[in-house]
Amino acid sequence: MSNKNLAKRCLAFSGLFEAELLIELMLRFWNHPLSDDQDYRNELLENAVEVLRASAKGQRFMEDMPPNKMNFVSAVWYAEWNGLDASLEKRMRLRRKQWLERIRRSLPSCFCDPKDLP
């Protein structure tokens, strides 16, 4: 597996128990409003896997990140961001947006091309 394609490496990781654990920890640590919902966590993992699969094939999801540099955390973030729907109850939508902001603020290195890091 190419070291140049992080998306492919993260896609391989996504099938491991540790991927499920990481999602649960991310949701709980940064206070996602649906952190206790196992079905939601499974759906989020499935959606993140789809982002990684498409990224590995060259589809760009984030302006500042080449597709082959998509990592697991940014794929989860994108899957959540993409899942925000105008039909959501206003308070739930706001809480989920706050979670997205906390993740991005706490883990900024996950949202850029690694070559741009010092």
Nearest to 26 by CA among 73, 86, 95, 89: 73
Q: What is the pLDDT of residue 42?
A: 96
Does the pLDDT at position 19 exceed 60? yes
Token pair 């949202």 in the structure block, residue: 111
Of 2 and 97, more confident:
97
DSSP codes joined into one string, 70-114: --HHHHHHHHHHHH--TTS-HHHHHHHHHHHHHHHHH-GGGGS-G
Residue boundaries of the structural domains of the chain: 6-110
- Other Cβ atoms less than 10 A from the Cβ of 68: the count is 18
- pTM of the complete model: 0.92
Q: What percent of the chain has pLDDT over 90?
A: 86
Of 53 and 116, more confident:
53
pLDDT category, 64, cuts 50, 70, 90? Answer: confident
